[in-house]
């Protein structure tokens, strides 16, 4: 159980706090960070969907194993671990989404800075 606490619960609580703090501070900023907040929230939701079931089932499996000696939740836990591995399959799609968003944001920033220059007759 100590491994579950130190390996799942504490890091998960740190991730929740970090995400909420980042979103809060970005919303308080005078700049428009909405696209970045949306992508950050998407990454966090995917993280929660992929890792929360295995953590909860791991805790439930150990509680059930120690209280009644029942080992039936272990099969579900193994399926949830496969969901954790699915997170690594989603990473390339997240990178593609982030790179497209960063490229469009960079193009927007660079076009915003263009000023009309007078043409010289040299």
Rounded Cα distance between 40 and 84, Å, is 19
State the chain's mean pLDDT as an integer.
80
pTM above 0.85, yes or no: no
64 in Cβ contact with 54 (< 8 Å)? no
Rounded Cα distance between 92 and 71, Å, is 36
Q: How confident is the model at residue 14 (pLDDT cuts 50, 70, 90)?
A: very high
Residues 6+ apart with CB under 8 A from 41: 19, 23
55 in Cβ contact with 4 (< 8 Å)? yes
Looking at residue 20, its pLDDT comes to 93
Rounded Cα distance between 62 and 71, Å, is 9
Question: pLDDT tens-digit profile of 36-50?
Answer: 888 888 888 988 998
Looking at residue 17, its pLDDT comes to 95
Looking at residue 87, its pLDDT comes to 83
């Amino acid at each position: 159980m100590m491994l579950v606490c130190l390996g799942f619960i504490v890091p998960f609580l740190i991730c929740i706090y970090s995400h909420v703090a980042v979103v809060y501070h970005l919303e308080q900023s005078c700049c428009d960070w909405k696209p970045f907040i949306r992508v950050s929230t998407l990454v966090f939701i995917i993280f929660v969907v992929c890792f929360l079931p295995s953590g909860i089932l791991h805790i439930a499996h150990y509680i059930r194993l120690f209280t009644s000696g029942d080992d039936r939740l272990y099969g579900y836990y193994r399926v949830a671990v496969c969901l954790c591995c699915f997170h690594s399959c989603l990473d390339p799609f997240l990178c593609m989404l982030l790179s497209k968003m960063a490229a469009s944001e960079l193009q927007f920033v660079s076009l915003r800075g263009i000023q009309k220059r007078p043409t010289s007759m040299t």
